[in-house]
Chains A and B, each alone.
Chain A
Amino acid sequence: MKHPDDVLLSAWLEDDLDDAAQRAWISDHVEVCIQCRDAVQELTALARRAGEEPPEWPGKEAAWELLRERLGGAQPSTSPMRGGTGRPKYKGARWGWRLWLPTGAAASLAVILAALLMRSPASVDPSVLALLAEDAVVARTLESATGSEGAAGSQAVWSANRMISQGVDDLERALRARPGDPALTMLLRRAVEHRAQLLTEMPR
């Protein structure tokens, strides 16, 4: 008797097989084949076991001591959207903040970039330009996510998040070359805030 292999069985389990005849063959086969039924059960059990509670991480107490040292100097990010209560003021719709991001952020970044270029064109890191370009992409992505819920909205936000993360990387590199540069610092802060907003507002 011919048996489907485990990859095929896994695809059948997830209803990922496009071929209707193949699906029907496996369904019929699993009905009568004890060996394949066992294999299906093992594959199903894998997912269940992966989701079980993790073992204890023995180093977590020691790691806390290191973490505490870093937290000592850490300050909460100073979002322009946040009030004195420690909570954001933007209590509107889940995607309400997308309205300020495309316009306000892109405009202010453009002003900062123009100032940088006027001050010292040679010293401007191309990564800043990259961030500005990416910010525009982010804005477009968020625009396209308007009204999107579930996977589509989530996908758009993750895409934007990844682009902003790249911008943060670029800016961190630029700041290492020019430590303390106020314009770069401001850009970095904005990028980090954008990313924090994305993560906070991520559709769940």
Chain B
Amino acid sequence: MDIERAAARDQAAFRRVYLATADRTHRLARWLLGTSDVDDVVQEVYVRVWDRLPELREPAAFGGWLRQVAVSVILRERERAARRESRDGGSRYLGGVPDSGASQVGLRLDLERAIARLPAQARQVFVLYHVEGRPHLEVGELLGISHHTSRSQLHRARALLKAYLKDGASNEAS
């Protein structure tokens, strides 16, 4: 019901939609970008969603549609940031997930930190494949790499994550 109301330009309904979905969108941006300004990108996602919501034919498909829009906006920002980085010679990429984004301790935080430590491409492949459920062909297309590279980066990511989590566990134990 909120989706239809938001599509009819009801901001209160859109706020509820935003609050119900923002955690997931924020995590997606955090994991894909690993930047310090994830909040801005998330805002951009919802501006686009607001603008295009009237075009959504099936409100029931909103979840998948939102993620399509989010991935599109986030990866576009990734490309822009990469261009800025190569032009300016500097980097806003921290290669890490801000601690404030991970509100809970324990295994979840360990995984957040471990994912933040991954090399950018391996992290993006892991997130698109495992969190977004995209097939390798699509992951490759989205990231501008071959599906073979996507596969090898996924296995690298998983092996690294396993090692990072083991490191974290042994550090805490010592």
A77 in contact with B55 given A10-B158, A46-B161, A50-B126 (CB within 8 Å): yes
Closest-CB distance, A159 to chain B (whole angstroms)? 6
**Other A-B pairs beyond A71-B14, A77-B51, A155-B137, 7, CB < 8 Å:** A46-B161, A55-B101, A58-B100, A67-B18, A82-B55, A91-B57, A200-B55
Q: Determine if B32 is an interface residue (Cβ-Cβ < 8 Å).
A: no
Query: Is there a chain B Cβ closer than 8 Å to A149's Cβ?
Result: no
Q: Please, how many angstroms separate the alpha-carbon atoms of A76 and B61 in the complex?
A: 19
> Distance in Å from the Cβ of B125 to the closest Cβ of chain A?
12
Does A32 count as interface, using CB distance less than 8 angstroms?
no
Whether, in the assembled complex, A56 has its beta carbon less than 8 Å from a beta carbon of chain B, the answer is yes
**Dominant secondary structure of chain B at its interface with chain A:** helix
B84 interfacial contact with A, CB 8 Å: no
- Whether A51 pairs with B101 at a CB distance below 8 angstroms is no
- The answer to whether A200 touches B72 (Cβ under 8 A) is no
On chain A, the residues within 8 Å of B56 by CB distance are 200
Q: Is the C-beta of A19 less than 8 angstroms from some C-beta in chain B?
A: no
Q: Classify chain B's interface size.
A: 35 or more
Which A residues form the contact surface with B (CB < 8 A)?
Answer: 5-11, 14, 16, 39, 42-43, 46-47, 49-61, 63-64, 66-68, 70-71, 74-77, 79, 82, 86-88, 91, 151, 154-155, 158-159, 161-162, 165, 169, 195-197, 199-200, 202, 204
Q: Write 9 A-B pairs (CB below 8 A) sorted by A numbering.
A: A5-B159, A10-B159, A43-B158, A50-B126, A55-B27, A64-B15, A66-B43, A77-B55, A151-B135
